[in-house]
Amino acid sequence: MTDKRYQVFISATYLDLRDERGVLLQTLPTLGCLPTTLEAHGQNLSTMVNIRRRIDESDYYILLVGSRYGSLMPSGVSYTHMEYVYAATKQKPMLILMHESPESRAAELQEQGVEGKLKFGDFRKLLQREREQIIYWRDAKDLAYVLQNAVPALVKRHPAIGWVRVGNNNAAINLEKECNALKKRVQELEQEREKWLSNTASSLENLAKGEEIFEIQYRCKAYAGGNCQDVNVKSRLSWNELLVSFGPHLLQPQTEDFMAAKISERLQQNALSEVQRDYPKTHAVVEVQLTPMCFNVIKMQFRTLALIQKVNRDNDQRMWWQLTALGERNLANVMSVRRTTSRPVV
């Protein structure tokens, strides 16, 4: 018997699948899997980075489909739909557990509105293209039996690294000491680099800032009539608008991925209307993401303006950023509410 365990991300709507979600949470550990779900994060845009990270960290992805499309994001796509698209984009080995006849389920478990039913139907059609990954089920008891067979087959078909308990031996201790020493040296070099950059900063006179407009390039997935396509889009925001999109969160150190996600959230507010300019039949967009080149330009612009700075975090190799004192002053100036004075009546 192996000590290896696999992390599995479970994506499912909530109201119509309470019992079925419980079956997954109880059954998966008996199959050597560690389930993780959206419930731990809450359903709002500020958690998208955590959701994507959990999917990235997971070995497998399971989509449980009942008879609802689910809660909608501002873009018009459900959270469940968004998670599926992201997992598919990352080519995660997956199972799609789809109810064989959702229309036969109780009325309170169905989508109540016309729009919700339409989107659910389009979503099922999209999923049914992945025939090899779909397994149909009828009820909670049937679902438990399905998992007993489908999960081992998935693991066998797509072997993953998984998680293995590491013994506390001398080799492991020495390796940990060596890694800690290397991390310390990397931090020292990063600090030297930051000082050098600060001392050699170029003149700021010719740099765009404030209310000047910057053209932003991003990608997203556009949905129309059950079809999905990747599109490239352009938006226009001022440097102050960009600062407001992530600045309040950088009063404390945040990862580079978090910073990029906050800018993408701001772009998502106008994404549907911007996509509809070229694709009028689009009814929803998802996976709004800055192009890497555009994000790097934005990041380096704010860094050169001395509004953000890199921060080192122990035992974390990711890129972390925080507002400088100048950045905080600029943000406060942009976001402050000015007092309005009325003229005296004569």
H, E, C per residue of the chain: CCCCEEEEEEEECCCCCHHHHHHHHHHHHHHCEEEEEHHHCCCCHHHHHHHHHHHHHCCEEEEEECCCCCCECCCCCEHHHHHHHHHHHCCCCEEEEEECCHHHCCHHHCCCCHHHHHHHHHHHHHHCCCHHHEEEECCHHHHHHHHHHHHHHHHHHCCCCCECCCCCCHHHHHHHHHHHHHHHHHHHHHHHHHHHHHHCCCCCCCCCCCCCEEEEEEEEEEEECCEEEEEEEEEEEEHHHHHHHHHHHHHCCEEHHHHHHHHHHHHHHHHHHHHHHHCCCCCEEEEEEECHHHHHHHHHHHHHCCCEEEECCCCCCCCEEEECHHHHHHHHHHHCCCCCCCCCCC
Q: In what order do the strands lie in the sheet with 227-238?
A: 227-238, 213-224, 284-290
Q: Which helix (H) or strand (E) holds 230?
A: strand 227-238
Residue 341: predicted pLDDT: 65
Q: What confidence score (pLDDT) does residue 1 get?
A: 40
The CA-to-CA distance between both ends of the chain, in Å, stands at: 90
Instruction: Residue 112: name the closest of 167, 170, 67, 168 by CA.
Output: 67
Q: Using one digit for the tens of pLDDT, what is the confidence trace for 71-106? A: 887 778 888 998 999 999 889 999 999 999 999 999
Amino acid 346: pLDDT? 52
What is the domain partition of the chain in residue ranges? Answer: 6-157, 202-335
Tell me if 35 sits within 8 A of 88, measured CB to CB.
no
Domain 202-335 has CATH 1.10.10: yes
Would you state the structure tokens that stand for residue 314, as one six-digit string? Answer: 């122990």
pLDDT confidence of residue 270 = 92
CB proximity list for 70: less than 8 A, separation 6 or greater: 13, 14, 78, 79, 80, 81
For residue 81, the model assigns a pLDDT of: 92
- Structure confidence at residue 41 (pLDDT): 42
pLDDT of residue 2: 55
The angle, 0 to 180 degrees and rounded to 10, between the axes of the packed helices 239-246 and 256-278 is 130
Residue 130's SS3 state is coil
Stretches where the chain sits below pLDDT 50 are 1, 40-43, 200-201
Question: What six digits make up the tokens of 304?
Answer: 């050169």
Report domain 6-157's class. alpha beta
In the prediction, which pLDDT does 40 show?
Answer: 41
64, 11 contact by CB (below 8 A): yes
B/e letters for 54-80, b = 16+ CB within 10 Å, e = fewer, are bbeebbbbbbbbbbbbbebbebbbbbb
The whole-angstrom separation of Cα 163 and Cα 27 is 18
